[in-house]
Structure 1
Amino acid sequence: MSDLIYPTLDLFLYALKTSLNTTDAETQKKQAAFLEQLPSDTQFSDPDIETEYLEITHPPQINFISQNKSLEGYYYTVRLNDTYGLQIDCSINNQTETQPAKSFTILKTEIEQKLNKQLVTIGKTWFLSGWLPENSSQNPEDIAKDSYNALFKDTNWQPVKGTFLEGKFFELWHSGNTTNNLNSDEHHVIIAIYPHRKSAEKAAEFYTDWMGLFCYRSKISWAYWQSRLIKESLLNHYKQIEENRKITNQSNSRQEKQNITTSRKILNNIDNILQQYTIDLINLSFQKQIIEINLSNYQLRLALIKEKAGQNNQLDFLEKFSELANKKYLPQITKDIENMQLGLQLLEDTINATRSRIEVEKAEREHNFQELVAVAGAGIATVSLVRETAKDCKDIFSQVRFFCNYPLSASLIVGIIVSFMVWWLRKQLR
């Protein structure tokens, strides 16, 4: 048997109020989506001020009504700078009798029914808790495992363990991956099994601390998975530019004579892609900054929780995540930024080479046009002169009857000969 007294399930859920380049209309839309999680008569107040922690409903804790009379719970909402935080708490309304671990399934169903599925979230944490009956011989880890399996059909039970206020804590998470740039699907669960009611009631005083800590954690995870999407976008941009570069390199001689329009089109295409590449590179650096700021806040909040809880609390398991961020997330993004900056240099070199090629082709066309003008000018001038003189059959032309009889044809022949000689002489002098 895996029995607990007063099994309680809390969902800590986070949604951005504002983000980079968010318009007022978009901010209002996000706010409206967040408010849809709460009862329609909720008194909501969110002044336009920068604040680390602000309760935004009156009263701060709003009891919810369930059709299942055996349940009780409440909503608690805050704003942490640019992020809304929502805690939904649901418990079995009985603090004397033991309940099976499978009761958590009922609690989760109740909470999910109260959520608006359209809400865009950046992260969430499921927090399961309860206390053992007096003189219980049950293994807290066995109860924690059964409670976890009641919510998630996941046989991979490999928790990080710790103690807090005499309770046994178990943390599990799967980094997973984010399939879009809106919702984070990270799987994060904490299970607390307290030895008695007094310990559980003391631990309940830390809910506001968990609200802040889990917010920083969610923002770190969200920023990292955003960086993976941005990196993928950067690689796609780079591939597109490489494809355009190969097209120009594979042009044969016949195509090169007609290549200036195609080259300009390719250059414009590369320019447009490069602009997106540069924006993505800036966004990648921005995600790194988000992780650095929130990692610092996470570590500070965890230190405050340790200080508040006092001695004999082993919260080192919560430091595993900050180690992950320090040893994997930040170095990975830093390396990606360095590599992508090298890629940016290569792309700029490609653009410069394409521009140079266009200038060479343009110069050759202008030179060829000048040649044509010079040769044609010499021919036309010759035709005009010869035609007028031959028509009157004067000077040398009087000796050649063909010029007198056919002045137009004769002038054209002479013009062609002169044009050819001019072209030949200019070619020899180049």
Structure 2
Amino acid sequence: MNEQQIIYPTVEVFFFDLREGLGDSPEEIEVRRRNFYEKIYGENTYEQGDYPKFCDRDNPTQPVVLLEKGSESFPNGEDGQYYPVQLGDTYALVASYSGKFDAHGQPNTEPHTIQPATNHPNEIGIPFGNFQGKLQERLHQKTPTLGQTWLIYGKIPDPNADLTQVAQQCYQQMVANPNWHRDCIGEGSLQGGTLFEIWHSDSQPSQSAHILIWLFPASKDVAAMREEVPASWWDFLYLFQYRHKILWAYAQSRYLRKQLKQNFVELKQKSDRTQILPQEIDQGKIPGRELQNILTENLATMSNYTVDLNYLDDQRRNIDINIQNYRDRFFYMQQKYPNSDLQCLGKFSESEIYAKKYQRQITADYENLQPGLTVLQNLNNTISGIIHIEQTKVDRRLNNTVAIVGVGLATSSLAASVALEGQNPPDTHTDFQFLTDPAFTISLGIGVFSAVLVAVFLRFRR
């Protein structure tokens, strides 16, 4: 593959961080603000006051530019800038790098040769691999919470160049283990340039990458190119925000699905145990207190299961909403750039193997896991019923005992009163001669006999 030249090569990254999630406290939102801020200015810079503060807002209805002057330029003669914004509940950042300014402090428009990386581990491709590394250094090697998209662009001075081959050379500098035929989603056009969309997946999520390569023809004026690309930032910011929210929600749903499936396995074990509870209770293997403990554990499991299931449904709705938002923004871009071909960008929301697949999968997961909540409720109702029955048995035994003792005491007292009527009371409190009196013995026997009769009657009554 022949080496090609490129004029004003530039690498940009669209970087998205979650500002606030459902139920986040003000303290958690502040931590996220600090983390996003320090991705731009470095560790421990948030409190020092050496850099401008963000102008973010709660629940804004319009996008918010976070810096009063709009963007922050790179120092030391480097042609680059940060442009941080707030899009509702999301922090977004465009960071752009085009190398060094020329000797006059102007953008360098000299041609660069696209040089592939060697096999040496410390060698990277030039210019894009090098520029990508510079941007990562500027972002202090931090990664976003929602996701990021790389945009690389430049002007190809050779009018006869094979732009697909040039795009492959650029792409190979951006990822490890590149596979063009697997990763290239499609080709289109925008503002007179040729657009390639690549989605590189890797077993290591940190090595996955979403990349746009935008190559302008030899006839394109460099100054016009430098104006037109930043003019499209807002469209890309919105479009990529929706894309990464969909992917993030799907990743969250995979974690929730794993948690719910583990809980479902526990439910099966608890259900099997519940089937033999009555037998174990009859055999005296499970005391009432243990039943209460089992119910308490089940209630905690049901609470966790309900929360996770609701979060799963939240992610399902997030995907639905952001797919529609993506479609609306894509339609808007088609109207805004009528002479462009953006169908490669539309594949994400319309193809059966991207967003629609995530939509189907998370819906199926919710429908499959939702019956587990019913199983938990039935388990808890069953155990509550068993506890109620056992408590009723205990209460009945206690009532029967009280009745037996009460009858025995009442009849013996009555008999003793009748038998001892007219006899002298004991002389002192230490005089126990009445215990040998036949009347006392008879009254005691009557009481015992009455208690036995009541016990036999209650037993047969049951």
Instruction: Give the TM interval when normalised to the shorter protein.
Output: 0.7 to 0.9
Which of 78, 94, 110 is matched with 1:96 structurally? 110
Secondary structure of 2:173's aligned partner? helix
1:118 to 1:8, Cα distance in 2 relative to 1, 3 A = closer
- Aligned pair 1:29/2:56, yes or no? no
Secondary structure of 1:124's aligned partner? strand
Contact between 1:63 and 1:73, CA under 8 Å: does it hold in 2? yes
Which of 76, 79, 82 is matched with 1:75 structurally? 82
- 1:253 shift after superposition: 4.0
1:60-86 CA-to-partner distances (Å, cap 9, x unmatched) read 2221125xx6x5211111111111110
Which of 356, 366, 378 is matched with 1:327 structurally? 356
Which of 403, 408, 415 is matched with 1:374 structurally? 403
- 1:414 shift after superposition: 6.3
1:233-254 CA-to-partner distances (Å, cap 9, x unmatched) read 2223333344344444344245
Which of 99, 105, 108 is matched with 2:132 structurally? 108
Contact between 2:246 and 2:355, CA under 8 Å: does it hold in 1? no
- Aligned pair 1:264/2:264, yes or no? no
Letter of the 2:36 counterpart: F
Tell me the residue number matched to 1:61: 71
Which of 315, 332, 335 is matched with 2:342 structurally? 315
Identity rate of aligned residues, in percent?
29
1:96 to 1:232, Cα distance in 2 relative to 1, 3 A = same
5+ residue gaps, structure 1, are 395-402
Tell me the residue number matched to 2:246: 220
1:322 to 1:140, Cα distance in 2 relative to 1, 3 A = same
Secondary structure of 2:145's aligned partner? coil
In the alignment, the residues of structure 1 paired with residue 157 and residue 188 of structure 2 have an alpha-carbon distance, to the nearest angstrom, of 18
1:325-350 CA-to-partner distances (Å, cap 9, x unmatched) read 55212222222232333221222111
Contact between 1:74 and 1:88, CA under 8 Å: does it hold in 2? yes
Contact between 2:59 and 2:89, CA under 8 Å: does it hold in 1? no
- Stretch of structure 1 that moved more, 18-27 or 231-240: 231-240
Secondary structure of 1:44's aligned partner? coil
5+ residue gaps, structure 2, are 42-49, 101-107, 116-124, 424-434
Tell me the residue number matched to 2:186: 161
Which of 139, 164, 169 is matched with 1:141 structurally? 164
In the alignment, the residues of structure 1 paired with residue 3 and residue 276 of structure 2 have an alpha-carbon distance, to the nearest angstrom, of 71
Contact between 1:177 and 1:225, CA under 8 Å: does it hold in 2? no
- Stretch of structure 1 that moved more, 30-39 or 407-416: 407-416
Tell me the residue number matched to 2:60: 50
Tell me the residue number matched to 2:332: 304
Letter of the 1:428 counterpart: F
Tell me the residue number matched to 2:216: 194
Tell me the residue number matched to 2:196: 170
- Stretch of structure 1 that moved more, 246-255 or 268-277: 246-255
Contact between 2:175 and 2:209, CA under 8 Å: does it hold in 1? no
Secondary structure of 1:151's aligned partner? coil
Secondary structure of 1:88's aligned partner? strand
Secondary structure of 2:39's aligned partner? coil
In the alignment, the residues of structure 2 paired with residue 61 and residue 353 of structure 1 have an alpha-carbon distance, to the nearest angstrom, of 63
Tell me the residue number matched to 1:398: none
Tell me the residue number matched to 2:307: 279
Tell me the residue number matched to 2:260: 234
In the alignment, the residues of structure 1 paired with residue 143 and residue 176 of structure 2 have an alpha-carbon distance, to the nearest angstrom, of 24
- Stretch of structure 1 that moved more, 406-415 or 351-360: 406-415
1:253 to 1:357, Cα distance in 2 relative to 1, 3 A = closer
In the alignment, the residues of structure 2 paired with residue 118 and residue 7 of structure 1 have an alpha-carbon distance, to the nearest angstrom, of 23
- 1:19 shift after superposition: 1.6
Secondary structure of 2:23's aligned partner? coil
Tell me the residue number matched to 2:457: 425
Contact between 1:7 and 1:99, CA under 8 Å: does it hold in 2? no
Contact between 2:80 and 2:95, CA under 8 Å: does it hold in 1? yes
Contact between 2:176 and 2:207, CA under 8 Å: does it hold in 1? no
- 1:87 shift after superposition: 0.9
Letter of the 1:319 counterpart: G
- Stretch of structure 1 that moved more, 294-303 or 91-100: 91-100
- Stretch of structure 1 that moved more, 212-221 or 236-245: 236-245
Contact between 1:123 and 1:186, CA under 8 Å: does it hold in 2? no
1:21-73 CA-to-partner distances (Å, cap 9, x unmatched) read 1222222221122122334533632244513422221322221125xx6x521
1:369 to 1:105, Cα distance in 2 relative to 1, 3 A = same
In the alignment, the residues of structure 1 paired with residue 204 and residue 20 of structure 2 have an alpha-carbon distance, to the nearest angstrom, of 20
Task: Give the root-mean-square deviation of aligned CA atoms.
Answer: 3.2
